[in-house]
Chain A
């Protein structure tokens, strides 16, 4: 059974660095063709893909935030991470992690429940 769960600070101030953790089970990020992505959703709005990291440590970033994003993984502990530097109120959103299948469907097949992040002074 595939599950993912996001965790984060809840609230942080403008200019700080946001650190998010995705803890997952039912699959391994060392398995060929497996990736984990981060997607966010501002309240009442649509979805925005942020970044993806794959089994062989390749990474992809959304150019609109590329300089601010860092994605990484800890394969041994079944976790993926996302850091966003210099946050602003526009970064207030629900952040989801999702499994991405690179070799088969090339889509997001399982999603976490999401974690709410609020940027406020």
Chain B
């Protein structure tokens, strides 16, 4: 299975601060079609996961543009500019390039 390693496990931030979360995969996530199926989700407290970014850098519907995703091959980053209170929760990266689909362990974003 592809292992997804997220760092840091947790982050303490102040509102308005910018933060980055890293996700590294044990194998390249580039599929034979040339696309990279690395995605980011947010699970707010007590809620189900919600799609944020798909295929490395594409914002999901309704996701504010203070979220951005970059990366390639095995190394990916989610950046949140100007954190707002509604951004708090656990962020997961997920890969669907390989079977079985796998998720990172999550990065918990908390208020400082």
Contacts and interface: CB of A to CB of B under 8 A. Distances in A.
Q: Do A and B come from one complex?
A: yes
Contact of A112 (B48, B54, B60, B102): B48
A105 B99 contact: no
A47 B94 contact: yes
Interface string B82-98: 00000000001010100
B94 to A, nearest CB: 7
B65 to A, nearest CB: 18
B54 A107 contact: yes
A109 B105 contact: no
Give the bracket for the number of chain B residues in contact with chain A: 20 to 34
A60 B55 contact: no
Interface in A91-109: 96, 98, 105-109
B34 to A, nearest CB: 13
Interface residues of B: mostly helix, strand, loop or mixed? loop
Contacts of B76: none
A49 B39 contact: no
Q: Which of B37, B50, B96 has the most CB of A within 10 A?
A: B96
B51 interface: yes
Interface residues of A, number: 21
Contacts of A108: 39, 41, 49, 51, 94
A109 B54 contact: yes
B106 A49 contact: no
Given A105-B55, A105-B58, A107-B37, A48 B48 contact: no
Contacts of B94: 47, 107-108
Interface of A: 37, 46-49, 60, 62-64, 96, 98, 105-114
Interface of B: 1, 35, 37, 39, 41, 48-51, 54-55, 58, 60-61, 92, 94, 96, 99-106
Given A49-B101, A96-B48, 8 more contacts: A46-B103, A46-B105, A49-B102, A96-B49, A106-B35, A108-B39, A108-B94, A114-B48
